[in-house]
A = this chain, B = another copy of it.
Amino acid sequence: MTLLKTHHCGQLSKSQIGETVTLNGWVQRRRDFGGVLFVDLRDRSGIVQIVFNPDFSQEALEIADRARNEYVLSVTGKVVERSADTINPNLETGEIEVRVTQIEILNAAKTPPFFIEDGIEIDEQLRLKYRYLDLRRPEMQKTLMLRSKAAKIFRDFLDENEFVEVETPILTKSTPEGARDYLVPSRVHPGEFFALPQSPQIFKQLLMVGGMERYYQIARCFRDEDLRADRQPEFTQVDIETSFLSQDQLLDLMEELTVRLFKQTANVDIPRPFQRITYADAMGKYGSDKPDLRFGLELVEITDIVAGSDVKVFANVAAAGGQVKVLNAKGCANWSRKELDDLQPFAARYGGKGLAWVTVKEGEWRGPIVKFFKPEEIAALTERLNVVEGDLLLFSADNKKVVADVLGNLRLKVGRELGLIDESQFKFAWVVDFPMLGWDEEEKRFVAEHHPFTRPKDEDVHYFDTDPGKIRAQAYDLVLNGYEVGGGSMRIYKRDMQEQMFKALGFSKEEANEKFGFLLEAFEYGTPPHGGIAFGFDRLVMLITKRNNLRETIAFPKTASATCLLTDAPGTVDDKQLEQLSIRVALKEPAAK
Contact surface of A with B, Cβ cutoff 8 Å = 1-2, 4-5, 24, 26-27, 42-44, 70-72, 74, 106-110, 112, 130-136, 140-141, 144-145, 147-148, 151-152, 155, 159, 164-174, 178-179, 181-196, 202-203, 206-207, 209-213, 220, 222, 224, 227, 233-234, 236, 243-246, 249, 493-494, 518, 522, 524-529, 554-556, 558, 561-564, 566-574, 577-588, 591, 593
Are B212 and A144 within 8 A (Cβ)? yes
Q: How far is the CA of A492 from the CA of B5 in the complex (A)?
A: 20
A245: nearest chain-B partner, CB-CB: B4
Q: How far is the CA of A164 from the CA of B260 in the complex (A)?
A: 20
Nearest Cβ on chain B to A238's Cβ, whole angstroms: 12
From the candidates B243, B556, B584, name the one contacting A584 in the complex (CB within 8 A): B584
From the candidates B166, B168, B569, B577, name the one contacting A179 in the complex (CB within 8 A): B577
Are B189 and A570 within 8 A (Cβ)? yes
Q: How far is the CA of A582 from the CA of B583 in the complex (A)?
A: 10
Are B172 and A567 within 8 A (Cβ)? yes
A165: nearest chain-B partner, CB-CB: B148
Nearest Cβ on chain B to A70's Cβ, whole angstroms: 4
Nearest Cβ on chain B to A548's Cβ, whole angstroms: 20
Query: Can you show 30 pairs from A to B with CB atoms below 8 A apart?
Result: A2-B529, A4-B249, A26-B211, A72-B526, A107-B493, A107-B527, A132-B525, A148-B159, A148-B164, A152-B155, A167-B555, A171-B233, A171-B569, A172-B567, A173-B570, A174-B577, A184-B184, A184-B196, A187-B224, A189-B561, A189-B570, A189-B593, A192-B570, A195-B573, A203-B556, A210-B555, A220-B220, A518-B567, A583-B586, A584-B586
Please give 18 more A-B residue pairs, beta carbons under 8 A apart, in addition to A24-B243, A107-B529, A192-B571.
A1-B246, A43-B211, A70-B526, A74-B244, A107-B494, A132-B525, A141-B211, A148-B166, A151-B165, A155-B155, A166-B555, A169-B558, A170-B234, A173-B570, A184-B184, A191-B585, A193-B572, A194-B569
A569: nearest chain-B partner, CB-CB: B173
Q: How far is the CA of A192 from the CA of B187 in the complex (A)?
A: 18
Q: How far is the CA of A140 from the CA of B210 in the complex (A)?
A: 10
From the candidates B110, B164, B207, B528, name the one contacting A107 in the complex (CB within 8 A): B528
| Residues from chain B with Cβ under 8 Å of A220 in the complex | 167, 170, 220
| Residues from chain B with Cβ under 8 Å of A207 in the complex | 132, 135, 555
Q: Please list the 4 inter-chain residue pairs (A to B) with the smallest Cβ-Cβ separation, ordered nearest first.
A: A135-B210, A109-B526, A173-B569, A70-B526
Are A184 and B183 within 8 A (Cβ)? yes
Nearest Cβ on chain B to A399's Cβ, whole angstroms: 31
A67: nearest chain-B partner, CB-CB: B526
Q: How far is the CA of A43 from the CA of B212 in the complex (A)?
A: 9
| Residues from chain B with Cβ under 8 Å of A213 in the complex | 43-44
Q: How far is the CA of A580 from the CA of B586 in the complex (A)?
A: 10
| Residues from chain B with Cβ under 8 Å of A529 in the complex | 2, 72, 106-107
Nearest Cβ on chain B to A514's Cβ, whole angstroms: 9
From the candidates B155, B171, B196, B591, name the one contacting A190 in the complex (CB within 8 A): B591
Nearest Cβ on chain B to A478's Cβ, whole angstroms: 21
Are A526 and B108 within 8 A (Cβ)? yes
Nearest Cβ on chain B to A433's Cβ, whole angstroms: 17
Are A110 and B193 within 8 A (Cβ)? no
Q: How far is the CA of A443 from the CA of B243 in the complex (A)?
A: 56
| Residues from chain B with Cβ under 8 Å of A567 in the complex | 172-173, 202, 518
| Residues from chain B with Cβ under 8 Å of A246 in the complex | 1-2, 4
| Residues from chain B with Cβ under 8 Å of A141 in the complex | 211-212
From the candidates B140, B164, B191, B193, name the one contacting A144 in the complex (CB within 8 A): B164
Are B212 and A573 within 8 A (Cβ)? no
From the candidates B44, B224, B569, name the one contacting A212 in the complex (CB within 8 A): B44
From the candidates B224, B525, B566, name the one contacting A110 in the complex (CB within 8 A): B525
Are A586 and B577 within 8 A (Cβ)? no
